[in-house]
Structure 1
Amino acid sequence: MDNKRKNIMIMTLSIMAFFANGDNYAVAPLLINIAKDLNIGISSAAASVTAYMLTFGLFTIIFGPLGDRYGKTKIINIAAFGTAVFSMLGAFVSTLMMVGVVTMPVEIKYFGKKLTILRNVLAFVFSFVVAYIIGMVVR
């Protein structure tokens, strides 16, 4: 491996490690604000962090042996790509559904009941199709 390619790989891994560890430590000081914004208790907000950390640890255990067997670079590339794609899809689908539910009264006022229902049904169908595709890919 030439020196330039090695430096690019080290920089990419460093950035990925920064983001992976950054979100682990950034959430703790924000728990109070998250709980306040969502009108839930701090323990409920902390439960989401616990669930995230458990899956983070579980996949660390899974990807280690996979990296040993198939090559660390290949597994890192697949995991990074999968994380990026599924994060974007999850955010997009969740946003479509949440916006539809939260803004329905305003949409009815400005666009009428028929257009609002049509938009929300289309958002639901699109969310279902994306979830189905993700399920087929993961399967």
Structure 2
Amino acid sequence: MQILLFSDVAGKKELRGWHRVGHHINYVEYKQRTYNPLLERDINYFELDFQLEFAHTGDTCYIAHCYPYTFSDLKDDLDYLSSIRSQEVFRRDILCESQAGNSCFIVTVTDECMIKKNKFKCFCLS
């Protein structure tokens, strides 16, 4: 699978977003065995080798293995789910905020069949 590239120049000039690039792509097991004392076992590492040519001189490029999923994407997806589902089925609350000031969401999803049957298991602690 090709890697993904985002070019600042192509993004501004051509309105091009993330796109697949690269050739001579190899994903192989790393030859050197590595021991992790926390896991108390050997770990197999893999390396990704590839070649690519940059199209624009002086460009800033970002490379990714898969399409980035941004915090804005998350908020948009949660907003959409909130708009198409009742609050009984899908509820999003803010658990806390990160040091950067971003909300950390807690999402509650309830099976619609359980709502219709009114079969909720509940217990109280005091």
Asked if TM exceeds 0.5, the reply is no
TM-score (norm. length: structure 1): 0.23
Q: Which has the higher helix share?
A: 1
Q: Which has the larger radius of gyration?
A: 2
Q: Which has the higher strand share?
A: 2
Higher relative contact order at CA 8 Å, sep ≥6: structure 1 or structure 2?
Answer: 2
